[in-house]
């Protein structure tokens, strides 16, 4: 980070977003859970990863690899096989590929900021077609596994795949795709919380993710504009 301290590295808005996210997660854990410390740890790692990703910092992808691993285990406990398969079999490998991509494309040699990419409409179409294919395939796979909340789980696969592909291609629109995924996950875990109130803490986690992903899109568009002006 060119020897900048973390306090100087993050803007005031980013510090506020991270602090509010952490307080939301810890408060919900104390109110609704108090036992699922793996959920608490995953949530805190997740929001920390997102604040780094919002700045295009590869460290965010490293933290996301850890988050995907823990979240997969949580999903397995709840029989959300779609989430488990999505994160362990797709999101985690894509985080690894994205980490390599981000490290290979630093902005003007600054390894703490990735070079924002402008992908062509044809590439969006190709990604969309692949997303449809993956969605249909996973619907039947998840149905065979007896996945709870089949339709929301399938939509989660769709949005996760689309977002992961855009992260790899370094497009700002990955944040919008993850925003859609956050909404799906909030619905998914709300269904689980009807039977176990402790899962309300997971809902709060993804609500915090929603706030972070909205900010990430705004900041990446700002980065894209700044990088274009510097060229």
pLDDT tens-digit readout, 69-93: 998 888 787 777 767 877 888 889 9
Tell me how many domains the chain contains.
1
- Whether residue 112 is contained in a domain is answered as no
**Count of other CB atoms within 10 angstroms of residue 173:** 18
The answer, yes or no, to whether residue 1 has pLDDT greater than 70, is no
- pLDDT of 3: 44
In a domain, 149, yes or no: yes
Q: Does the residue 2 lie in any domain?
A: no
Of residues 118 and 198, which shows the higher confidence score?
Answer: 118
How many residues appear in the chain? 231
| In-domain check, residue 134 | yes
Interval 15-27 mean pLDDT: 95
d(CA 93, CA 123): 21
User: Considering the domain boundaries, does residue 113 fall inside one?
Assistant: no
Enumerate residues 6+ apart whose C-beta is below 8 A from 25. Answer: 40, 43, 44, 47, 201, 204, 205, 208
**Mean pLDDT in residue range 199-227:** 93
Tokens of 118: 């402008």
Confidence (pLDDT) at 172 = 97
User: CA–CA separation, 96 vs 41, rounded Å?
Assistant: 21
Range of the domain at 204: 9-105+119-230
Q: How large a percentage of the chain has pLDDT more than 70?
A: 97
What is the signed CA dihedral for 60, 62, 65, 71, rounded to 10 degrees?
A: -50
Determine, yes or no, domain membership for 15. yes
HSE-CB for 92 with a 13 A CA cutoff: 16
Residue 7 has pLDDT above 90, yes or no: no
Of residues 15 and 198, more confidence is placed in 15
**Does 4 reside within a domain?**
no
Q: Per-residue pLDDT averaged across 104-123, rounded?
A: 94
pLDDT (tens digit, 9 = 90+) per residue, 163-182? 999 999 999 999 999 999 99
Is pLDDT above 90 for 11? yes
Residue 39 predicted with pLDDT over 90: no
- The percentage of the chain sitting over the pLDDT mark of 90, rounded to a whole number, equals 60
């Amino acid at each position: 980070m060119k020897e900048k301290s973390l306090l100087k590295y993050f803007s005031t808005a980013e510090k506020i977003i991270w602090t509010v996210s952490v307080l939301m997660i810890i408060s919900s854990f104390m109110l609704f859970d108090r036992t699922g410390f793996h959920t608490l740890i995953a949530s805190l790692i997740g929001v920390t990863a997102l604040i780094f990703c919002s700045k295009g910092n590869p460290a965010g992808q490293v933290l996301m690899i850890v988050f995907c691993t823990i979240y997969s285990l949580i999903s397995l406990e709840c029989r959300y096989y779609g989430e488990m398969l999505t994160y362990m079999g797709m999101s985690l490998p894509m985080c690894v590929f994205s980490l390599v991509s981000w490290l290979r494309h630093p902005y003007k040699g600054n390894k703490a900021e990735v070079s924002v990419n402008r992908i062509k409409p044809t590439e969006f179409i190709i990604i969309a077609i692949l997303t449809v294919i993956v969605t249909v395939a996973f619907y039947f796979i998840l149905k065979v596994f007896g996945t709870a909340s089949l339709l929301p789980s399938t939509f989660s696969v769709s949005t996760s795949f689309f977002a992961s592909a855009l992260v790899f291609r370094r497009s700002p629109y990955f944040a919008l795709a993850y925003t859609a995924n956050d909404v799906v996950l909030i619905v998914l875990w709300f269904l689980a919380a009807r039977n176990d109130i402790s899962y309300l803490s997971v809902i709060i986690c993804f609500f915090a993710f929603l706030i972070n992903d909205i900010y990430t899109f705004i900041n990446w568009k700002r980065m894209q504009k700044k990088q274009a002006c510097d060229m």
